[in-house]
Amino acid sequence: NAGVTQTPKFRVLKTGQSMTLLCAQDMNHEYMYWYRQDPGMGLRLIHYSVGEGTTAKGEVPDGYNVSRLKKQNFLLGLESAAPSQTSVYFCASTFGVGGQEDTQYFGPGTRLTVL
């Protein structure tokens, strides 16, 4: 099992450029999440999905879009990147809810810099 993988690991964008971050999991998890991590602010939920074909907004969804066309993949899109989106992005997935099944498995992160 590869677990949760993220592509790319690093990226530098210019303001206004677009890009897509890919998250893939091979654990047959229903739930997937995108977070951003900024110094002193912990993890903030951007969007999440409770199953194939579904998406929902998290705490900080503005400027991002997501799609979950296949159960194993969760894509995060930035249509027009802004310097405020410079951050480390983490994807996570989980099987279900409650107890250890609620355990979120995290990818290694994508470090994005927007100039």
Q: Which residues bind other proteins (CB under 8 A)?
A: 4, 31, 33, 35, 40-43, 45, 48, 50, 56, 58-59, 90, 92, 97-100, 102-104, 106-109
Q: Which is nearer to other proteins, 8 or 16 (CB)?
A: 8
Cβ-based nearer residue to other proteins, 14 or 42: 42
The two tokens of residue 33 are 């999440």
When the beta carbons of 12 and 41 are compared against other proteins, the nearer one is 41
- Where b means 16+ CB within 10 Å and e means fewer, 14-47 reads eeeeebebebbbeeebebbbbbbeeeeeebebbb
Shortest Å distance, C-beta 44 to other proteins: 8
Q: Please answer whether residues 4 and 90 qualify as being in contact, where contact means their C-beta atoms are separated by less than 8 angstroms.
A: no
